[in-house]
Structure 1
Amino acid sequence: MASPTEEHLAGYISDRLESYLSFYGSNLNKRYIKFYEDIPAPLNKLFAFFHESFNGLLDFLNTKSRPGHYNADQSRMLHELIIDVKIIQSNLIDTQYDFEIDSYYSEVFEICKSFLKTSGGSVIPHNLQQVKIKELNPIFTLKAGLKVQRPNGVFTFPTEEIGAGSYATVYKFTDSLYNKEFAYKKAHPTLEADEKERFYTEFEVMKSLKSPFILEVYTLDKEQNYYVMELADETLEKYIERSPGLENASEKLKFIHQICLALKQVHSKNIFHRDISPKNILIKHFDHINMIKVADFGLVKIPESKLTRFSTEPKGFLNDPYLGFIGFNNYEMHHDTYALTRLIYYIFTGRTDDGIFTNPVFRDFFKKGISFEIEHRYSNIEELESAFFTNVVPSIREFGI
């Protein structure tokens, strides 16, 4: 049996969209259309219709008591649209429009199907949880994957999501030309122009930093708003969860040394990372060694840059809380050393508190690094590194943490 042509597929999608808009009297919300601006028409509008409709119906469901009654019209519409979107998804399998539904929403749909009725309304189960409505990111994504322009044509690589943040999602893919796995970071379509500029700046900064301990980036595509980068294996956070306390202490000391080398390279360019955290420090596995890869320069401070939204910029969770008073735009070297001090403590304890110590040398190192009096802190990474490896490391063998 021949595969449907692009014209037939577009016609099928258009017919479904027109029937929904006519039957339900919907006017597509531009905000939802923007979520899918990278999706080919008319599928982008169909996704926008479903997304807006599901959010409205699920939001209404959230207002109802548990147990309680879900109104007949809304119950019937939600049931029908869940069935319809699954049918459309099935019909588009193995085509260029093959798509995935957000995993959380898919679970919600299955739960709803178990109690929704098509007439007379529905009894809401007493244990039904409030639905987390997704209003900032798309709930439909094409399976087609990453499209890459090459001299001999456009190649599409299947992708798998491996992480998501407030302004971008990270995927991995295998490039068949190199037979190698890479990652790519794609900006959310809802970003404003200045936020996209910060995304591009993150790439340019990482491209300029030449260190084996900083995640390498390769190419930036401003049309599709993504950049390709080196694929790491795990975060430092995951590693510490698996190896708590003094377990693998010698390797942890190597990690700290590598992090210091990376940050010294960053500071040599008169740049501050501003988001040092175990989530943004990655680890790459090689045959006989693990290597640190500092990543996520989305909050990087560059001299003379005007990109930062100082009044609303989020702070890394290891950052100096005093930044909330003086402003994130006043971030300086002693704030990076503050965060690094806390990171070192985290590496050996898995904690982010103000420190519980049996080792007086480690305690003094920590207190100096996070001192409220800025002039008492370590003035740069070199000073902090020297204090740690000269004084603290020998004491760990005797006193622990």
Structure 2
Amino acid sequence: MKTMERERVERFERTFHERDIDSTYLELYRREQVLPRAFAYIHAGLDVEFKHMNYKARGGSSGHFNADNSRNLLDLIDLLAEARTMLNKAGHSLTMAPDYQRVIENAPAWLVDSGGSPIPEGFTPVEVESYAPVFSLGDQAVPVSDSRMVKLTSIGEGAFALVHRFTDPNYGMTLARKKLKPGADDREKERFRREFELMKELQFPYVLEVYNFKESDWSYTMEHCDTSLEDYVAKRNNQPGFGPTTRKRIALQFLYGLNFIHSKGHFHRDLSTRNVLLRTFGGSAVLVKLSDFGLAKLKGSEFTMTETELKGTKIDPALGSFKDFAAVHDIFAAGFVLLYIFTGRKNIGRNDATPIEQIIHKCIDSQPDRRYQSVMELIADVEALDTTVIGEAPA
């Protein structure tokens, strides 16, 4: 059943059906399910006015923006404001390219609808983007099982997806939702679905749990975590109460999760301090959750996108191709995650004086055959660390 807000959005879109719109701009937004013609029309109109504004700002006619152009731009800004208001009420958030947003927010202060407008001194030319969308939609709300809408709060954004959190009113639980960005092609959709299916398979305490997949909007719900490993350590590094014992416990949870993934025949291929999440329970109690399996290689799968080869967060210099990825390459990245857990640093020193530095140097050795060959070998050495001398060089 359509809500009144969604019907208003559809009526607004219909007002653009008879308008002449450049086909180039229509193509940019053809994958948008909401307001594709409106976005194409407004984008095309803004580009015309911004190009003219850039010309005038360079000194033509003393920086005077013509009257017709001023009125056109004001009309476009009004249309955009109307669209934003309706979208917000329908549960969507409108985002735009930063340079477009800068001008649209500031221009009404100096634009006038008669006699032309004096362009402010020191005006920075607009970076006109005619070959990629400048408008995109996020969600502010999501329907739950009883058709109620619940508020979404943005908590992250990657190259292909947006992540929001929300509270399920039926259970009072905070959940997260990951949604593929608009315009994704079939290959990206397939990878998104495979990520969900892999995580659904990997039921383990130290792997992020996922729940339901919705093909209608290419999203899935998952366990909500309070922070990333990077932020958690950054806030506590060198603070009382965040000592070797706590760090070792976090490190082992991370390694147990990675070992489980490998035991199932999969490789993560994108390990980083931001892809390791934590649930916190007060004090020093935490639960590590490995996440972001978008680049993971599944057992027996040849699904490797040429465009994404060697684009993991910490790339092993010894790796020639993602197709050749093996356990030692995940262990290379894991060494830097361990370095951050135990020291708060992201760059390794040249010596290997302390026990933990010796472990890390073995993880990232330039010769893969000299590294740990399995995560279990690495776990054994981390478990054996004496937390009373973990950061001290041998006497």
TM superposition score normalised by structure 2: 0.83
Distance in 2, matches of 1:63 and 1:276, equals: 47
Q: Which residue does 1:304 correspond to in 2?
A: 300
Letter paired with 1:373:
Q
Q: Which runs of 5+ in 2 are unaligned?
A: none
Distance in 1, matches of 2:353 and 2:164, equals: 42
Q: CA deviation at 1:174?
A: 1.5
| Superposed counterparts of 1:2-401, under 5 Å | 10-15=10-15, 17-18=16-17, 21-22=19-20, 26-27=22-23, 29-37=25-33, 39=34, 43-54=35-46, 69=63, 72=66, 76-90=71-85, 92=86, 95-96=89-90, 99-102=93-96, 104=98, 106-118=101-113, 120=116, 122-126=118-122, 128=124, 139-141=135-137, 145-148=141-144, 150=145, 154-245=147-238, 248-249=242-243, 250-288=245-283, 289-323=285-319, 326-355=320-349, 359-391=353-385, 393-399=387-393
- Using the aligned pairs only, state the percent identity: 27
Q: CA deviation at 1:262?
A: 0.4
Q: Which runs of 5+ in 1 are unaligned?
A: none
- Specify whether residues 28 and 378 from structure 1 end up closer, same or farther in structure 2 by C-alpha distance, changes over 3 A only: same
8 Å contact 2:191–2:294 — kept in the other structure? yes
Distance in 2, matches of 1:379 and 1:218, equals: 33
8 Å contact 2:141–2:151 — kept in the other structure? yes
Letter paired with 2:208:
L
Structure 1 window deviating more from structure 2 (371-380 vs 61-70): it is 61-70
Q: CA deviation at 1:111?
A: 2.5
Q: CA deviation at 1:253?
A: 1.6
- Specify whether residues 7 and 337 from structure 1 end up closer, same or farther in structure 2 by C-alpha distance, changes over 3 A only: closer
Give me the CA root mean square deviation: 3.4
TM superposition score normalised by structure 1: 0.82
Structure 1 window deviating more from structure 2 (94-103 vs 155-164): it is 94-103
Q: CA deviation at 1:139?
A: 3.0
**Once the two structures are superposed, what CA deviation does each residue of 1:317-343 show, in whole Å capped at 9, x if it has no partner?**
2231333xx112111100011101111
The SS at the match of 1:398 is coil
**Once the two structures are superposed, what CA deviation does each residue of 1:299-331 show, in whole Å capped at 9, x if it has no partner?**
0011332321135435222231333xx112111
Letter paired with 1:278:
T
Letter paired with 1:46:
A
Letter paired with 2:325:
Y
Distance in 2, matches of 1:56 and 1:350, equals: 50
Distance in 1, matches of 2:370 and 2:349, equals: 18
8 Å contact 1:36–1:47 — kept in the other structure? no
Distance in 2, matches of 1:142 and 1:337, equals: 36
Distance in 2, matches of 1:55 and 1:100, equals: 18
8 Å contact 2:136–2:182 — kept in the other structure? no
8 Å contact 2:5–2:89 — kept in the other structure? no
- Specify whether residues 295 and 8 from structure 1 end up closer, same or farther in structure 2 by C-alpha distance, changes over 3 A only: closer
Letter paired with 2:237:
P
Q: CA deviation at 1:212?
A: 1.3
Distance in 1, matches of 2:391 and 2:138, equals: 53
**What number of residue pairs does the alignment pair up?**
384
The SS at the match of 1:185 is strand
Distance in 1, matches of 2:5 and 2:335, equals: 59
8 Å contact 2:310–2:321 — kept in the other structure? no
8 Å contact 1:310–1:327 — kept in the other structure? no
- Specify whether residues 126 and 392 from structure 1 end up closer, same or farther in structure 2 by C-alpha distance, changes over 3 A only: farther
Structure 1 window deviating more from structure 2 (269-278 vs 378-387): it is 378-387
The SS at the match of 2:28 is helix
8 Å contact 1:50–1:81 — kept in the other structure? yes
The SS at the match of 2:337 is helix
- Specify whether residues 275 and 392 from structure 1 end up closer, same or farther in structure 2 by C-alpha distance, changes over 3 A only: farther
Q: CA deviation at 1:107?
A: 4.7
Distance in 2, matches of 1:187 and 1:56, equals: 31
Q: CA deviation at 1:14?
A: 2.4
**Once the two structures are superposed, what CA deviation does each residue of 1:253-282 show, in whole Å capped at 9, x if it has no partner?**
211010011011101101000000011011
8 Å contact 2:165–2:175 — kept in the other structure? yes
